[in-house]
Amino acid sequence: MWFKNLQVFRLPAPWSVDRASLEDQLAKRRFHPCGSLDPATQGWVPPTQESSLVHVVGQQWLICLGSESKILPSSVVRQEAEDRADDIEAAQGFRPGRKQMRELREQVLQELLPRAFTRRRRSFAWIDPVNGWLVVDAPSQARAEDLLEELRASLDHFPLALLRTERSPGSAMAEWLAAGEAPGAFTIDQDCELRSVTEEKAAVRYVRHSLEGEEIRGHLQAGKLPTRLALTFDDRVSFVLTEKGEIKRLQFLDVVQEQMEGQGEGAAELFDAEFALMTGELSHLLPALVAALGGEITA
């Protein structure tokens, strides 16, 4: 259980909802597979093989949103409707109008949906109710919003907020690059993207390239701002920070992975050990990153 991309949000600390209450509220919107005429469906599923919708390890919670969607390309529906329109035109001597074409496409859709293949996906979120973190493992804020919308629909009260810091990630990353070093236990790695704020949006990307020296500073002086910067925290966790405050390409380094040796004999024990180790590391990383960005805005 290792998250790859983090979309970070804030809950009141401590969060007043207890595990039993969360479990009961999520259970009202359990996942059910698509019916024959459903294009898509989503709901809560157990994160592990257990039946509980809220998996608890220590004081950390894990929840999972399951989704299923029918794979039915619009081009297939459109082509079948066009073929039927050709038959109608041949029979009646004139092309179906717009209204009839809409009805044809809807008819085709309803006929093909029961035979369409389905695709399932699971999205995980870690909740730290003591320190007020909610972190979704998702590559984009839009993907995370699917899970958050389902939480809003499930819970009686959901006081979620974006993580806001005194300094924007973009301006902080620019300062770190200009100085050639990051604050605290952070170190700058060798991947970076800088983008111009002009209409042309000119961009330069560095991959496995030294980010020290006049070349980088020249781009900064020319008005380009960093949109992505690879960092390592405390020689234990590496990641890419984006201008939106997203954490991508999260990787737990060897010194962390070595702690897993001999942990858990079965799959369930290994899952819990990985989750405990991951959340422990992130519980250090997130506050340190907030501090590096000037502290959190709480008002």
Pairwise CA distance, residues 16 & 169, whole Å: 30
Amino acid 121: pLDDT = 93
Pairwise CA distance, residues 78 & 84, whole Å: 10
Amino acid 243: pLDDT = 96
Which residue is associated with the tokens 């809950």?
A: 11
Q: How many CB atoms lie within 10 A of CB 111?
A: 12
Pairwise CA distance, residues 191 & 228, whole Å: 8
Q: Is 129 exposed, middle or buried (0-12, 13-18, 19+ CB in 10 A)?
A: buried
Domain borders along the chain are 6-72+117-162, 74-114, 169-292
**How big is the chain by its Cα radius of gyration, in Å?**
24
Q: Are 127 and 13 in contact (CB under 8 A)?
A: no
Residue 167: name the closest of 176, 159, 158, 178 by CA: 176
**Local confidence pLDDT in tens for the 299 residues of the chain:** 899 999 999 999 999 999 999 999 999 999 999 887 788 999 999 999 887 999 999 999 999 999 998 887 788 888 888 888 888 888 888 888 888 888 888 888 887 877 778 889 999 999 999 999 999 999 999 999 999 999 999 999 999 999 999 999 999 999 999 999 999 999 999 999 999 887 777 899 999 888 887 888 888 888 899 999 999 999 999 999 999 999 999 999 988 888 877 666 788 888 999 999 999 999 999 999 999 999 999 87
Which residue is associated with the tokens 């459903």?
A: 38
Pairwise CA distance, residues 225 & 170, whole Å: 7
Residue 298: name the closest of 135, 160, 165 by CA: 165
Q: Are 84 and 104 in contact (CB under 8 A)?
A: yes
User: Which 3 state secondary structure label does DSSP give 17?
Assistant: coil
Amino acid 118: pLDDT = 81
Pairwise CA distance, residues 221 & 201, whole Å: 15
Amino acid 264: pLDDT = 63
